[in-house]
C-alpha cells in the first residue's frame, strides 16, 4: 500500500508540475484569439479525462496522510496542486521551527508585479501552523495577525520562517517572518497566530464527513 501511494504521489506531482506550467502560460499569454479558443477546447478535453473518477469535496485524497498533515493538493506546498506556488519546507521539530522557500508567480498577483496580500498571509499562516505541528502541537488557526512591511515582488525567491513561541494546554502561539532570499535582514511581512488543537471528540465531529482519522489537528498529534 505504501509503495502504491508513493508511485501515485510521483504521478500526481508530475501532473501538478505540468498544470502549474499550464496555469502560468494561461495567465501570461498574449496569443491570438484563435489560439485561445483552441486552448480552451484542449483544456475541456483534459478536464473530461480527469473527471472520469472524482472524489467528493469532503473526501481525503489517497495520496494524503491526515495523521501527519501531509496534503498533496495543499494550495501552499502541494506537489499536485496547480495553484500552489509551491513552497518547499524544511522542518526543525526539535526547535519548533520550519523554513519555507518559495517564489510567487504571476498566477498569484495582486497589484501589478506584486504578490497578492492574501497570498502573503497564506504563506505566513502555513509556516505558523507547521512550526507548531512539527513540534507535536497540532491545531487550527484561531487568530492570525499579519503586518505588511514592504511590497512582495513576483519572481523573487523568498524565505518564510515559522517559530513556535509558547504552548499552554491546547493553545499554541507562533510567529513568522517573510524575507527575500537575497536580503534576509529586511522583513517584508510578519505574522503571529494563536493555534488551538481540537479535542479528539470535537475533531471527530469536524472531520466526520471525511470518514478518516484526522490526527494532525488534534491535541493528541
Active site residues: 125
Buried b (16+ CB within 10 A) or exposed e, 64-76: bebeebebbbbbb
Q: In whole angstroms, what separates CA 168 from the centre of its chain?
A: 26
Which of these, 127, 131, 193, lies nearest to 160 by C-alpha position? 127
Beta bridge partners of 96: none
Question: How many whole angstroms separate alpha carbon 123 and alpha carbon 125?
Answer: 6
In angstroms, what CA-CA distances link 64 with 76, 126, 216, 218? 15, 17, 12, 17
Question: How many whole angstroms separate alpha carbon 156 and alpha carbon 159?
Answer: 10
* Residue whose C-alpha cell reads 490526527 in the numeric block: 215
Question: How many whole angstroms separate alpha carbon 107 and alpha carbon 115?
Answer: 9
C-beta neighbour count of 40 within 10 angstroms: 11
Provide the greatest CA pair distance for the chain. 60
Q: Strand 157-168's sheet: what is its strand order?
A: 88-92, 97-103, 157-168, 171-180, 183-196, 140-148
Amino acid at each position: 500500500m505504501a509503495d502504491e501511494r508513493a508511485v501515485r504521489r510521483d504521478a500526481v506531482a508530475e501532473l501538478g508540475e505540468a498544470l502549474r506550467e499550464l496555469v502560468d502560460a494561461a495567465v501570461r499569454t498574449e496569443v491570438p484569439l484563435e489560439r485561445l479558443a483552441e486552448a480552451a477546447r484542449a483544456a475541456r478535453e483534459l478536464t473530461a479525462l480527469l473527471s472520469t473518477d472524482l472524489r467528493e469535496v469532503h473526501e481525503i485524497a489517497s495520496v494524503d496522510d491526515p495523521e501527519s498533515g501531509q496534503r498533496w493538493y495543499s494550495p501552499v506546498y502541494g506537489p499536485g496542486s496547480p495553484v500552489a506556488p509551491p513552497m518547499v519546507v524544511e522542518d526543525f521539530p526539535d526547535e519548533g521551527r520550519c523554513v519555507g522557500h518559495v517564489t510567487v508567480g504571476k498566477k498569484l498577483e495582486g497589484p501589478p508585479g506584486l504578490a497578492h496580500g492574501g497570498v502573503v498571509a497564506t504563506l505566513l499562516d502555513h509556516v505558523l501552523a507547521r512550526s507548531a505541528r512539527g513540534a507535536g502541537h497540532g491545531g487550527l488557526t484561531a487568530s492570525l495577525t499579519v503586518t505588511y512591511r514592504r511590497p512582495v515582488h513576483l519572481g523573487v525567491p523568498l524565505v518564510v520562517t515559522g517559530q513556535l513561541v509558547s504552548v499552554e494546554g491546547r493553545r499554541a502561539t507562533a510567529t513568522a517572518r517573510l524575507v527575500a532570499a537575497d536580503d534576509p535582514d529586511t522583513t517584508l511581512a510578519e505574522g503571529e497566530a494563536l493555534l488551538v488543537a481540537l479535542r479528539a471528540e470535537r475533531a471527530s465531529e469536524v472531520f466526520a464527513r471525511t470518514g478518516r482519522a484526522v490526527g494532525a489537528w488534534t491535541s493528541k498529534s
